[in-house]
Amino acid sequence: MAKLLVEGNKKLSGRIHVAGNKNSVLPLMAACILTRETCVIENVPAISDVSTMAKLMEICGAKIEGLNTPTLTINCRDIKKATLPAELTQKLRASVLLVAPIIARVGEVTMGYPGGDVIGRRPLDAHFQVLKAMGAKIKAANESFKVSAQNFTPGQIFLMESSVTATENAIMAASIADGETIIKRAASEPHVVDLCNFLVKMGAKIEGIGTNILKIKGTQTLLAAVHAVRPDHIEVGTFAILAAITCEKLEISPVVKEDLDMILLTLAKFGVNFSLEENKLIVTGGKLQAVEKVVTDVWPGFPTDLMAPMIVLATQANGVTILHDWMYESRMFFVDKLLSMGAKVEIADPHRVFVYGPTELHGRKLDTPDIRAGIALVIAALAAEGKSEIDKSELIERGYENLVERLSAIGAKIKKSS
């Protein structure tokens, strides 16, 4: 396992590049299966999740060129029936996004249950609801499940929850169903918008993009398309939090302004100084003050993927902040690492913590429980006095490309060790 060695309490400054959205590129890759023609995806982040998705697609017959580069060329002309092994699906929650497109092409798919970060229960109920509503049959076993359908049937679906990946599976299935499908309570995150825009380029007819009601008129033949992955708004928020704690001035780009409304509103409440210039976010520190409460919510509310970094920000703000993530019952459990560093955090229950700040953090030996907690620990280590060692850094690399290089370029003392 790899580790990160971090020397903290250094003032950082400069410019940092925002990678393509991790949560966009994976459904975009899956959507390429819907066409026999060659698609090109640009601004692809160099992360391990992309490699895992590529391996799963290649098992089904996809041909993918350009891995570990910013541009993927994907041809899915010869998709075949296959079993997607648990040893791969367990590494990637987004592996479930392959279900709808593979069924659309060959009528069935068997796969091990998807895994990913251990942040709480993430059942497949919403996915099974979508698939059954569109005519699929599901056989579930202990280690895997099989989904089959001759054709997807259009209709109306009111999602039992506003699940991003269930919405994306529904969108892909509806894009090739014979007729109109209406999806209500659809997720509307930027990465869902990215998928819709890509499918429109491929010839899909989608109304209501960016809203909670989608109307999709299916077409039997989708075509080739070229699409650039949207900049990752979670990275923007992460680097803005890093800048508020450790930087004299940090220019973060590129950004999409409309993706940042709730993130910037929350940072402003904490007293973070920033400005937006064209496609750049410039953060110049600030006098950090605690806010009464930060609560995650479905889009356009505060994103759950920023809760862990926001907890670190609260340790440096004057006063008491309540941070509440009702979505995942294990999101907060990384705070024991912050406690070891000197933070004052009280766990109220699995979903809520009280953070008392400001506190001086001290370098420690830490381990990474998941992607978002891992990047939060990197921020804490960069702010801390002394040296830190963060184990299992490969988990962080699932979501953040070339992190050591990008942070070193703004003055961080950080290196990777095996």
Return the percentage of the chain with pLDDT > 70, whole number.
Answer: 98
Contact residues for 109 (Cβ-Cβ < 8 A; gap 6+) = 81, 82, 84, 98, 99, 102, 103, 146, 147, 148
Residue 220, Cβ neighbours under 10 Å: how many?
A: 10
- pLDDT category at 115 given cuts 50, 70, 90 is confident
Q: What is the pLDDT of residue 117?
A: 41
> How far is residue 391's CA from residue 2's CA, in Å, rounded to a whole number?
6
List, for residues 202-213, the tens digit of each pLDDT value: 999 999 999 999
- pLDDT category at 176 given cuts 50, 70, 90 is very high
Query: 């992955």: which residue's tokens?
Result: 229
Strands 213-217 and 352-357: unpaired
Q: Checking phi first, is residue 365 left (phi over 0); if not, alpha (psi -120 to 50) or beta?
A: beta
In whole numbers, what is the pLDDT of the chain averaged over residues?
95
Delineate the domains of the chain, giving CATH numbers in brackets.
3-19+231-417 (3.65.10.10), 22-228 (3.65.10.10)
User: Token pair for residue 232?
Assistant: 């990752």
Helix (H, G, I), strand (E, B) or coil at 33: helix
Does the active-site annotation cover 370? no
Q: What is the pLDDT of residue 122?
A: 53
List, for residues 68-107, the tens digit of each pLDDT value: 999 999 999 999 999 999 999 998 989 999 999 999 999 9
> How far is residue 357's CA from residue 321's CA, in Å, rounded to a whole number?
8
Instruction: Report the length, in residues, of the chain.
Output: 418
Is the pLDDT confidence value at 26 over 50? yes
Q: How does DSSP assign 82-124, residue by residue?
A: -EE-HHHHTT-GGGGGGHHHHHHHHSEEEEEPP----SS---S
* Average pLDDT of span 291-309: 96
Query: What does the DSSP 8-state code read for residue 324?
Result: E
What φ, ψ does residue 263 adopt, rounded to 5°?
A: -60, -45
* Dihedral angle of Cα 156, 297, 99, 227, to the nearest 10 degrees: 100
Amino acid found at 111 = M
User: Token pair for residue 147?
Assistant: 């989904």
Which entry of 117, 232, 259, 305 is annotated as an active-site residue?
Answer: 117
Q: What is the pLDDT of residue 40?
A: 98
> How far is residue 90's CA from residue 302's CA, in Å, rounded to a whole number?
27
- pLDDT category at 330 given cuts 50, 70, 90 is confident
> How far is residue 347's CA from residue 367's CA, in Å, rounded to a whole number?
19
Q: What is the pLDDT of residue 118?
A: 40
In SS3 terms, 144-210 reads as: EEEEECCCCCCCEEECCCCCHHHHHHHHHHHHCCCCEEEEECCCCCHHHHHHHHHHHHHCCEEECCC
- pLDDT category at 274 given cuts 50, 70, 90 is very high
Q: Which of 170, 198, 208 is nearest to 25 (CA)?
A: 198
* Average pLDDT of span 220-224: 94
Query: 């109220």: which residue's tokens?
Result: 348
Higher pLDDT, 329 or 323: 323
